[in-house]
Amino acid sequence: MKKTNLRHGFIGLCLLLFVFVAASVSAAGVSLTFDHFYDHEELSNALKALKEAYPQFMTLEKLGTSYQGREIWGVILNNPQTGPAKHKSGFYIDGNIHGNEIQGTEVALYAIWYLLTNHGKTEYATRLLDERAFYVIPSMNPDARDYFINKPTTYRTGLIPRDDDRDGLLDEDSPDDLNGDGVITMMRKKDPNGRFKAHPTDKRIMISVLPGEKGEYSYLGEEGIDNDGDGFLNEDDLGGYDMNRNYGYNWQPPYVQMGAGDYPFCFPEMRATRDFLMDNPNIMGAQCFHNYGGMILRGPGAMNLGEYPRADIQVYDYIGKKGENILPGYEYLIVHKDLYVVYGGSIDFLFCTLGIFTFTNELDIDLFNIHSLEQIADEGEKTPEERQQEEMLQEFYTMFFYDNVMLGETHIDWEPYDHPLYGEIEIGGVTKFGRRVPPLFQLPDTCHRNAAFCFFHADQLPLLEFDTVKVKKTASDLYQIDICIKNTRITPTISTQAKQKKLHRLDRLHIEGKNIKLLAAGNITDLYRGTTDKIETQGNIIWIEKGIPGFGQTNLRLLVKGKGDVRLAYDSLKGGYYSKNISLK
């Protein structure tokens, strides 16, 4: 869904001043380009090649298979020399959950490539891959992706056969490539009572008529015929389920949320995704890629969920607003307030069930209408005539873009066709590559900037350090140990949502050593007076109920009996594992 404003127009105009060449890369025998869209076979080969070139950093897992039998790939990136993946705060990326929103896969692949090929070359990539673990599903919907890239038509949904028109048959009336040009575009018919007319200076463009104004054309929908003889066209298309309405939180049945499926996680692609997420509980940040409109979205997805906890919103705001600078023209928005209501979506499942700070980016801003956007004002202030003039101007510059920037590649002129039901019609219009996906010259920019936003978010996951450790001997074998554990990033080690709903285990501090016994522990409430609040201990373990806040610290006082080497280990499920060795003498 598209959202435009003056800012988008200005940024879009700036972007058009640049010509983006393909980002062609070659490293360790792997050559990738980001000037085209990878079908499933190409994506599989690229992932396998990266795995072979960087076995020390990359794990490639087959998470499952789609309905049509294509692999659903999961990638784990980690530098084992700096610790196991699950001892680090993890970041998750997925793309292409919707079959007609394909460029998220290229962004995910670019992010994988960038980290691998730049580790040891740049400080930023090296530090990220050393400090974090990355979990990526480049394509959640490989079936519909291959249809988009290799077949005439496109599908948003998964492709399990469904009876959309309830006639007892499955997928028997899909769009048809009537004129055999390899793409499916639109049909129009001359109609004096139609709702559209041709643009006065370009007959290829259709403009809405004013109330009482004589029409010239009616739209008839996508190319197709009545395959099943029921008097309707294209009413039982392939598939029909929406994976991003099938997550197991705030799910609603299909009569409330279209495409939701029979029950949460009922589809093979969704079960594979769920299991990957559940198998890696250290994931603390996530990015899901959709298109289109240039948005950085956070939840809630539906009004019935209320608002997220205020402390968690502060984390979202910090990252989301920085994202507007990383992604010029994108806006930081809330799903149900600024887009539409989503039940059973990924953004709420990941945050509300797993405690993962999650964004959904609607990729790519509108480069087509950048001139006419300057004319946009409040719709409520316009007359129908003014709105029609704006539409004419907008469509004119869109066609100018197709002709002079896309060089005619994504628009097909209207041509006559003798339709078996409608008689004389015309077929033409914008192809699938002229709608929701970026022009190929823009694709490298889409990949790099959105990967950069992922990296910024990943860099803002919890990163702890033992800021100070002070040991004071109080008796022959009794020691007071004061510890300050600091979080140098905005994200806390446990979200407020997770604490309130008890979504996962709390952080804990282990005191380890031969013949070492923890006698008592407390939170230091006043560093100057040395006052403490008692903490209940469990053997040599302290449970840290509040975790370590973002850009904050926790100060602890321990009373320990024993002598010798002691290991202090702070173990946070989503914030990482950190240790400090001290000696009691």
- Candidates 41, 5, 21, 134; CA nearest to 444 is 21
- Candidates 47, 147, 56; CA nearest to 99 is 147
Please tell me the predicted confidence (pLDDT) of residue 30. Answer: 80
CA 559 to chain centre: 46
Task: Please calculate the CA angle 422-427-430 and round it to the nearest 5 degrees.
Answer: 140
Q: Which residues, in sequence order, are CB contacts of 135 under 8 Å at separation 6+?
A: 74, 75, 76, 77, 90, 91, 92, 93, 276, 280, 283
CA 457 to chain centre: 12
CA 357 to chain centre: 12
Please tell me the predicted confidence (pLDDT) of residue 369. Answer: 52
The answer to whether the beta carbons of residues 260 and 249 sit under 8 Å apart is: no
C-alpha to C-alpha distance for 406 and 49, rounded to whole angstroms: 32
H/E element, 481: strand 478-487
The answer to whether the beta carbons of residues 137 and 276 sit under 8 Å apart is: yes
Please tell me the predicted confidence (pLDDT) of residue 29. Answer: 57
Q: How many CB atoms lie within 10 A of CB 21?
A: 9
Q: What confidence tens digit (pLDDT) does each residue in 390-414 have? A: 888 888 888 888 999 999 999 999 9
Cα dist. 364→15, 94, 537 in Å? 11, 16, 52
Report the phi/psi class of residue 265: left, alpha or beta, with left for phi > 0 and alpha for psi in -120 to 50.
left
Q: How many CB atoms lie within 10 A of CB 203?
A: 12
The answer to whether the beta carbons of residues 378 and 386 sit under 8 Å apart is: no
C-alpha to C-alpha distance for 399 and 26, rounded to whole angstroms: 37
Please tell me the predicted confidence (pLDDT) of residue 28. Answer: 52
Q: What is the pLDDT along the chain (585 residues), one digit of tens a residue?
A: 434 443 444 444 344 333 333 344 444 558 899 999 999 999 999 999 999 999 999 999 999 999 999 999 999 999 999 999 999 999 999 999 999 999 999 999 999 999 999 999 999 999 999 999 999 999 999 999 999 999 988 888 888 888 888 889 888 889 999 999 999 999 999 999 999 999 988 999 999 999 989 999 999 999 999 999 998 999 988 888 899 999 999 999 999 999 999 999 999 999 999 999 999 999 999 999 999 899 999 999 999 999 999 999 999 999 999 999 999 999 999 999 999 999 999 999 999 999 999 999 999 977 655 444 444 445 557 888 888 888 888 888 888 889 999 999 999 999 999 999 999 999 999 999 988 899 999 999 999 999 999 999 999 999 999 999 999 999 889 999 999 999 999 999 999 999 999 999 999 999 999 999 999 999 999 888 888 899 999 999 999 999 999 999 999 999 999 999 999 999 999 999 999 999 999
Report the phi/psi class of residue 530: left, alpha or beta, with left for phi > 0 and alpha for psi in -120 to 50.
left
Q: Which domains does the chain have, with CATH numbers?
A: 6-149+242-366 (3.40.630.10), 177-239+385-434 (no CATH), 464-584 (2.60.40.1510)
Please tell me the predicted confidence (pLDDT) of residue 20. Answer: 36
C-alpha to C-alpha distance for 284 and 90, rounded to whole angstroms: 6
